[in-house]
């Protein structure tokens, strides 16, 4: 797990905050499919005649359609991208693991009927494929790559996520992200952001301004939902000092 800062101290005192809803990124936040994605892009790189290492340098947190636009614009269409992404969980499902704490957190939110959604740079077949393979809770709302004109760090995706939850722009919404581009998108959408140190080093997370940095979802805990106001209490533990 990338924590590349000397002696990081995840000793922040527990804080409880109230939100109207929660928006999660997918890869690196709920599921760590790094090994699967590496194998996927190695396969694609060979097909395109492009060094996979070059593709991998810029592909994380970026929509595949934007990556294909760089290397083979003829494949930068939703039919092709949805097809190849839908194959990833089936071909490389054994190479993915859930981010620690993800299963329990999503299950507790779903049980309490908390407004939550996944907002991802992946396509719908990729997201639903991973949730099925990993047997994780499915949200009632998804914002996927094909739903927006611009990918992260553009804030359009998180604004759309808020709208899909039926929340107004002045409500307090929590975004949970692992990538610098996603953190920037969440902040630009006027959300509070928890940055997970699961795929990027701490320095990269810090410079993009999340409100908290934690190791993984074991440090994000559902407390309760107010039956009258609908507000969701979330406890953030062991944040980076």
pLDDT average, residue stretch 207-222: 98
Active site annotation includes 27: yes
Predicted local distance difference test score (pLDDT) of residue 3 = 63
- Using 50, 70 and 90 to split pLDDT, how confident is the model at 2? low
Q: Catalytic residue among 27, 32, 178, 211, which? A: 27
Predicted local distance difference test score (pLDDT) of residue 8 = 83
Contacts of residue 189, defined as CB under 8 A and 6 or more positions apart, other chains included, come to 155, 158, 159, 162, 173, 175
Question: Which pTM was predicted?
Answer: 0.91
Predicted local distance difference test score (pLDDT) of residue 62 = 82
Give the DSSP letter of residue 199: S
Return phi, psi of residue 33, to 5°: -105, 25
Q: Catalytic residue among 25, 178, 211, 216, which? A: 25
Rg over CA atoms, the chain: 17
As a whole-number percent, the residues of the chain with pLDDT over 90 amount to: 93
Burial 181-212 (b: 16+ CB within 10 A, else e): bbbbbbbebebbbbbbbbbbebebbeebebbb
Predicted local distance difference test score (pLDDT) of residue 57 = 87
Cis omega before residue 153 (within 30°)?
A: yes
């Amino acid at each position: 797990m990338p924590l590349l800062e000397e002696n990081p101290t995840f000793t922040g005192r527990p804080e409880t905050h109230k939100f109207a809803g929660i928006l999660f990124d997918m890869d690196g936040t709920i599921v760590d499919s790094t090994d699967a994605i590496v194998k996927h892009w190695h396969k694609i790189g060979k097909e395109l005649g492009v060094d996979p290492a070059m593709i991998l340098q810029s592909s994380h947190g970026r929509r595949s359609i934007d990556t294909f636009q760089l290397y083979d614009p003829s494949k930068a269409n939703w039919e092709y991208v949805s097809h190849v992404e839908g194959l990833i969980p089936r071909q490389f499902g054994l190479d993915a693991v859930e981010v620690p704490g993800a299963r329990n957190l999503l299950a507790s939110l779903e049980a309490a009927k908390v407004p939550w959604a996944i907002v991802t740079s992946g396509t719908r077949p990729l997201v639903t494929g991973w949730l099925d393979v990993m047997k994780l809770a499915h949200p009632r709302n998804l914002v996927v790559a094909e739903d927006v004109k611009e990918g992260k760090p553009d804030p359009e995706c998180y604004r759309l996520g808020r709208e899909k939850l039926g929340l107004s722009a002045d409500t307090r919404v929590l975004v949970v992200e692992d990538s610098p581009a996603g953190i920037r998108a969440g902040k630009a959408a006027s959300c509070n952001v928890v940055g997970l140190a699961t795929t990027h080093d701490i320095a990269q997370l810090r410079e993009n301004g999340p409100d908290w940095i934690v190791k993984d979802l074991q440090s994000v805990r559902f407390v309760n939902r107010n039956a009258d106001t609908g507000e969701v209490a979330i406890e953030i533990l062991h944040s980076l000092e």
